[in-house]
Amino acid sequence: MNFVVPDLYQASAEIFIAVMVLVLMLATAFARRVARDLAYMLAQFSLIAAIFITLSTLDTQPSVTFGHMFVSDLLGGLLKLMVYSSMIVALLYGRSYLADRKLDRPEYYLLALLMTLGMMVMITSNHMLTLYIGLEMMSLALYALVAFDRDSARSTEAGMKYFILGALASGLLLYGMSMLYGATGTLELLGVASAVKMQAANVPVLLFGLVFIVAGVSFKLGVVPFHMWVPDVYQGAPTPVTLILASVPKLAAFAMAWRLLAWGLFGLSAHWQSMLMFVAAASIILGNLAALAQHDLKRMLAYSGISHMGFMLLGLLAGVVDGDTHHALDAYSSAMFYAVAYVLMSLAAFGMIVLLSRAGFDAGQIDDFKGLNRRSPWFAALMMFVMFSMAGIPFFVGFFAKLAVLQAVVAAGYYWLAGVAVVMSVIGAFYYLRVVKFMYFDEPVDNSPLRAPVDLRLMLSANGLAVAVLGIMPQALMALCEHAMLSSF
């Protein structure tokens, strides 16, 4: 048996983050007096350094290492860069909130780094085993973060519910992977793709496993009918954790869905696309209708997120029609663009909740935004940008994200599905515009000025402006997503 030395250079970012997890753990153990500040600085340093390491190792030509378990390609590199950037923003947003409630313990930043490492492994996986390991690493860290406020019964309940959801998803996914292995004789995604293409797989077993794979992916995306306790988890978790939960993992979930379905099971696209069609339509309908009745902003954004993930799935399911793959690149790149746009909008929306919160008070209700324009016209305008963008109103990044996936759906000939998406978007605009109405036309409940650290104000301003600027000039990000997708096919 010949042992092939893996190319560690390609995985240098993952190795660096793993080492920094150990450094953070040891450093905070021996420096307890300054542990909280040190943990935050080490976490941010690790993420910033990972950006430069990933940029230095980017390669336009895909390559595999670690026994074909790890793939280095432009798509993975771009998604990892977005994960680092989003996590940097999320940690910055949540710091003052956690400090006010004495929750800014070193363990929070340690779990955030472990979660980041899990997402990196998911994004670069070419093997079901490493994909599952990355998924569990991310999920276990998230379970602990959701229940991080041990004195809150609601947070503990949310953590338990999220754990049960995650366990179901992991079980379904693992069972589906075992079926794929039984049908193809390999756990390598490219090997599975080759077996399917050469018709060398046991088709009934393969399709049986595919059902569980789609169910597991749907669970991780939190889409209908696997959404169950997602709104409860969003509402019960500390707001900075909800901010992380609603944004960064969506990039890793997109990568998992694309690697498993469009990469490994591309030859079965006719089957999994029909499954995703039902899931996407149900998510868009139920997500928008349920959000109409919500008065808690975190629950409203949870149902909104279910709808947005349904839109993202529209791009994935429109890639192949009757064996025609000419539209696959446009469809998959539109799904990636939608995932990136949603993360950007979600960070800004939950960042505004953090901004309005203070010690002893959480701005979780929509009523808490009443009269915000009188307290701070600037941040009211930024929140309006985010709400307009999520509603798909021109000209914000959310509008072009929805337009891109709808164009892919129409090009694939699914006119009824595009019609459903458009109608539900119009209905869903109501609950976004309701927030704007409260900010500009209602009397403020609290007239006190907004107090927040300068770094939070600056980053939130940049985040909100990015939603507007990318709506005016979306071509660069669209082209980047398309180029990354093209180089990874």
**Predicted confidence (pLDDT) at residue 125 exceeds the cutoff of 80:** yes
CA dist 251 and 79 (Å) reads: 7
How high is the mean pLDDT of the chain? 87
Q: What's the pLDDT tens digit per position in 303-353? A: 999 999 999 999 888 887 777 677 788 889 999 999 999 999 999 999 998
Furthest-apart CA pair in the chain: how many Å?
75
Query: How far apart are alpha carbons 221 and 287 in whole angstroms?
Result: 13
Q: Which of 9-18, 186-195, 309-318, 464-473 has the lowest mean pLDDT?
A: 186-195
- Give DSSP secondary structure letters for 241-305: HHHHHTTHHHHHHHHHHIIIIIIISGGGHHHHHHHHHHHHHHHHHHHHHHHHT--BHHHHHHHHH
Q: Which of 364, 243, 359, 349 is nearest to 299 (CA)?
A: 364
Whether pLDDT at 166 is above 90: no
Please, which pLDDT band fits residue 356 given cuts at 50, 70 and 90?
A: confident
Please tell me the predicted confidence (pLDDT) of residue 360: 61
pLDDT tens string 370-421:
888 888 888 899 999 999 999 988 888 989 999 999 998 998 888 999 999 9
Cis amide prior to 395 (ω within 30 degrees): yes
Q: Which tens digits make up the pLDDT trace of 260-283?
A: 888 878 888 888 888 889 999 999
Beta-strand relationship, 63-65 and 70-72:
antiparallel
3-state DSSP assignment of residue 320: coil
In the predicted model, is pLDDT for residue 106 greater than 50?
yes
The model scores a pTM over 0.75: yes
Q: Per-residue b/e over 183-196, b at no fewer than 16 CB within 10 Å?
A: bbebbbbbbbbbbb
Residue 153 is which amino acid?
Answer: A
Give the domain ranges of the chain. 12-488
Query: What is the crossing angle of helices 475-488 and 397-411, to 10°?
Result: 50
Q: What is the mean pLDDT of residues 456-470?
A: 91
Answer yes or no: is pLDDT of 1 > 50: no
Q: What is the mean pLDDT of residues 25-39?
A: 82
Per-residue CA distances from 233 to 2, 96, 161, 390 (Å): 48, 22, 7, 21
What pLDDT is recorded for position 359?
Answer: 59
| Cα 480 → chain centroid | 18
Q: How far apart are the first and last CA of the chain?
A: 31
Beta carbons of 319 and 328 less than 8 angstroms apart: yes
Q: Which residue from 349, 359, 350 is spatially nearest to 452, judged by alpha carbons?
A: 359
* pLDDT above 70 for 47: yes
Q: By the 8 A CB rule, do 343 and 411 touch?
A: no
pLDDT at 217 (0 to 100)? 87
Q: Which tokens hold the place of 418? A: 């595009």
How high is the pLDDT of residue 3?
61
pLDDT attached to residue 268: 83
Amino acid found at 118: G
Q: List pLDDT tens digits, range 145-164.
A: 998 888 888 888 888 888 88
- Residue of 58, 39, 47 whose CA lies nearest to 83: 47
Q: Please state, for a pLDDT cut of 90, what percent of the chain lies above it.
A: 32
Handedness of CA 149, 152, 157, 160 (dihedral sign): positive
Of 98, 342, 123, nearest in space to 237 by CA: 98
CA 75 centroid distance within chain: 15
Which residue would you say has higher pLDDT here, 219 or 309? Answer: 309
Asked if 331 contacts 318 with a C-beta cutoff of 8 angstroms, the reply is yes
Out of 49-58, 186-195, 300-309, pick the least confident: 186-195
> What secondary structure, in 3-state letters, does 147-211 show?
CCCCCCHHHHHHHHHHHHHHHHHHHHHHHHHHHHHHHHCCCEHHHHHHHHHCCCCCHHHHHHHHH
Instruction: Answer yes or no: is pLDDT of 364 > 80.
Output: no
